[in-house]
A and B are shown apart, each in its own frame.
Chain A
Amino acid sequence: MSFLEVTAFLFDGFKISLLIFAVTLLCGAPLGLPIAFCSMSRFKIVKSISKVIVWIVRGIPLMLQIFIIYYVPGLLFGYQLFGQIDRYMFIEYGIADAGRITAVLIAFALNYACYFSEIYRGGIESISKGQYEAGYVLGLTKSQIFRKIILKQVIQRIVPPMSNEIITLIKDTALANCIMVCEIIKNAKELAATKALIWPLFFTGVFYLVFVGVLTVVLNKAEKKLSYFRS
């Protein structure tokens, strides 16, 4: 196999890595917000449930969560729900794979939503009470205060920890190969097994490095753009 053929084959795998990355961000980041609000709820039950969920999701290895989400529904109901979703959603991309993709996406989105929720919660709770009170004495509503005063300060504070998570995420996508999802490392291992080529496995690092490099530049720009004020 030529270098170009190997690169193309690995890149096919990296596209799956990028898919997991994108879907996790697009679903996990918004999903983290209601979880964060539940964790800060005045209602003790809501708060406890939310905290227990976050504890479990952050307390179990992501790999194990992928196994659980992939195998347990089938064991319980004997029905390949994820397989149906896979065929319905991803068949035209040629990656439908007996529910593996869907299971991985769900596991990742849930897992990262919980991590994101804790970052949001930390960010929101770090804003001084004085900012709310300044809004109150100006006759603003709670929602106006949150949207117009608090939110931007929270965003400024959570960009660095979010950047960290986002950079971790692209490397975590490699965990998908534990249920044989054809992401980049799975493809490299396949080359090692079928073509006796070991170097592509190491070469995958370059894909990650380039992508993380681009991410770092973009995230630093975002951080800089928000640094015009100090809260």
Chain B
Amino acid sequence: MAILEVSNIKKSFGKTEVLKDISFTLEKGDVLSIIGSSGSGKTTLLRCLNFLETTDCGKIVADGEVLFDSEDKTKMTDEKIRENRLNFGLVFQNFNLFPQYTVLQNLTLAPTLLKKGDDVTIKQKALELIKKVGLEEKADFYPCQLSGGQQQRVAIARALALNPKILFFDEPTSALDPELTMEVLNVIKGLKESGCTMVIVTHEMAFARDVSDKVIFMDGGVIVEQGDPEQVINNPQNERTKHFLNRYKENS
């Protein structure tokens, strides 16, 4: 059974329709990359799935549990929205670490506040995750003392601290230079090897091709093409996909 089923999602801001009928499924342990030009609705889709935006229409099912269904008219309580969010983790483009907390405290804050175990267990788990992203010697540093790539790795570890079923990335390397980009991409590759289910919005085409099990190309709020990464990126069928990928090849 799919770990994520998204059906017929629609979202408008005022009169602008940003998402027009988006549907896809994701299997457990798979990595899905979403590519497409700016303004195609990729980020809005992630934000809808993480309940940072209210979806207008459609249905979101995670691991068999209905998180959102526009047919169901009972009002979403704040409590329910918070529970929904805990199914997923989200890594932002500009990290959004909490500046007044150390790396370790960034990881332990939410589990402690949500009473996800005793302090010792939470701390141990956090230290393991910090080690997993290769920052064990930086546990007591503040975010401002770290490079962008290190900050993003902390953000990944922070999202993992709550054991999300799926980890979402919103252009995780767009704010980084090529060298720092590599260290973050390597962490994501490592996560794939450990079986983490991920959805990645990215402009790194080579990376998307290498790491993904499935690629979605979005344009103008719809999914234009989806499927096997080799097929979508190396041998696209749709004209718009071809056009988009050609411009990438010209630039690289």
Give the docked Cα–Cα distance between A230 and B144 (Å): 6
- By the criterion of a CB under 8 Å from any partner CB, how many residues of chain B are at the interface? 28
A141 and B143 contact, CB distance less than 8 A: no
Give the docked Cα–Cα distance between A135 and B85 (Å): 11
Knowing A131-B98, A134-B98, the reply to whether A229 touches B162 (Cβ < 8 A) is no
Q: Across the two chains, which residue of chain A brings its CB closest to B97?
A: A134
- B78 CB–A CB distance under 8 Å: yes
A149 and B113 contact, CB distance less than 8 A: no
Q: Footprint of A on B, CB under 8 Å?
A: 50-52, 78, 82-83, 85-86, 88-90, 92, 94, 96-100, 109-110, 113-114, 142-144, 158-159, 162
Q: Across the two chains, which residue of chain A brings its CB closest to B92?
A: A130
- A125 CB–B CB distance under 8 Å: no
B162 and A133 contact, CB distance less than 8 A: no
CB < 8 Å A-B pair total: 65
The 8 Å CB contact of A137, one of B90, B94, B113, is B90
B85 and A148 contact, CB distance less than 8 A: no
Give the docked Cα–Cα distance between A128 and B94 (Å): 11
- A220 CB–B CB distance under 8 Å: no
Q: Across the two chains, which residue of chain B brings its CB closest to A155?
A: B100
A153 and B82 contact, CB distance less than 8 A: no
10 smallest beta-carbon distances between A and B, as pairs: A138-B110, A134-B96, A230-B144, A130-B96, A231-B99, A137-B90, A139-B86, A229-B99, A229-B100, A152-B100
B99 and A141 contact, CB distance less than 8 A: no
Give the docked Cα–Cα distance between A37 and B90 (Å): 29
Give the docked Cα–Cα distance between A136 and B50 (Å): 9
Knowing A130-B92, A148-B113, A229-B143, the reply to whether A138 touches B158 (Cβ < 8 A) is yes
A137 and B50 contact, CB distance less than 8 A: yes
Residues of B within 8 A of A3 (CB): none
Knowing A137-B89, A139-B110, the reply to whether A131 touches B82 (Cβ < 8 A) is no
Give the docked Cα–Cα distance between A149 and B100 (Å): 8
- A126 CB–B CB distance under 8 Å: no
Residues of A within 8 A of B52 (CB): 133, 136-137
The 8 Å CB contact of A131, one of B83, B96, B110, is B96
B110 and A153 contact, CB distance less than 8 A: no
Residues of A within 8 A of B109 (CB): 138, 148-149
Knowing A228-B142, A231-B100, the reply to whether A140 touches B110 (Cβ < 8 A) is yes
Give the docked Cα–Cα distance between A135 and B98 (Å): 9
Residues of A within 8 A of B86 (CB): 139
A-B contact pairs, 10 of them (CB 8 A): A137-B159, A138-B110, A138-B114, A139-B82, A139-B162, A140-B113, A141-B82, A153-B100, A228-B142, A229-B100
Residues of A within 8 A of B143 (CB): 229
Q: Across the two chains, which residue of chain B brings its CB closest to A134?
A: B96
Over the window 220-231 of chain A, the binary record of Cβ atoms lying under 8 Å from chain B Cβ atoms (1 yes, 0 no) is 000000001111
